[in-house]
Structure 1
C-alpha cells in the first residue's frame, strides 16, 4: 500500500492541465501520475509544510542501490531545458517523489517491471516555503 501524499491545490490544478494535454503516446506516464494524484490530500500552497516535495522543489534523494545522493529539481515537461539537474514529473522517479516528506522512502515500479526504492534526504528549495506560488 502506497502512502497518502500531500499536494498543493495549485500544483494539482497545473498537473491536471498537463495530464489533459498529454498525447496518447504518453499513456503510461499519464496513468502513473493519475494513480499518484489519486492518493493525494490537498493543501493550500501557503500552508504547505517545508519538508514536502512540491513541483519545482530542488531536493536531494537517493536510490536504494546507490549510496550517493543526487540533487535535482522536480520540473514540468515544458520547463525542461536539458539541464542535468532537472527531473520531469512524467518520469517514474519524478512521479514517485511528488508529495513525499524528508525521510520518506517509496518503492516504485520501473518501466522494465523491476522495482526501485527512492528516499528523500533534504529539500534545498521549495517554492511554497519561499512564498513563490506563480511559477
Structure 2
C-alpha cells in the first residue's frame, strides 16, 4: 500500500465504529483495516469536524481511479444500508472513504489487490 492520507474521525463516529467492530466475531481484512484506520486517525469533537471530510451518513462523490467510474453514495453502518445509494462501512470502498478529505486519494487492499479511490466531494 502507498502512503496513506491523513484522516479525521469524529469521536462519536469512532465510538459507533468500535462498537460495531467489537461485535463482529470473525475478523476479516476490512475489519482489521478499520481498526488500523481508527488507530491512526485524528479524533475531533463533532462540532470541530470539517465539512469536506467523510463521516458516517455523509454523501460522498468519489472516483474509482482504475475504472474512472464516479459514484455518489452515502456512507452508512451496515444496519442502515437501505438501498443502492448507500455504501456500508464494512465494504472495502466504505472503509477506504472514512475520514478522507475532498481531493484525497487512498489505496485500499482487497483480496490481494488494491482499490484506489479519489474523493471528489462531500455533499
Normalised TM-score (structure 1): 0.84
Note closer, same or farther for the CA distance 1:13–1:57 as it changes in structure 2 (3 Å cut): same
Larger Rg: 1
1:58: which partner in 2?
59
| Structure 2 spans left out of the alignment, 5+ residues | none
Deviation of 1:68 after TM superposition, in Å, equals 3.1
Deviation of 1:96 after TM superposition, in Å, equals 0.8
Question: Within 5 A, what are the aligned runs for 1:28-107?
Answer: 28-81=29-82, 83-107=83-107
Aligned length, in residue pairs: 121
Counterparts of 1:51 and 1:35, CA distance in 2: 22
Pick aligned residue for 2:7 from 5, 8, 14: 5
Normalised TM-score (structure 2): 0.92
Question: Within 5 A, what are the aligned runs for 1:17-32?
Answer: 17-24=19-26, 26-32=27-33
Deviation of 1:60 after TM superposition, in Å, equals 0.4
Counterparts of 2:21 and 2:115, CA distance in 1: 24
Counterparts of 2:22 and 2:67, CA distance in 1: 35
1:123: which partner in 2?
122
1:14 is the counterpart of 2:16: yes
Deviation of 1:46 after TM superposition, in Å, equals 1.0
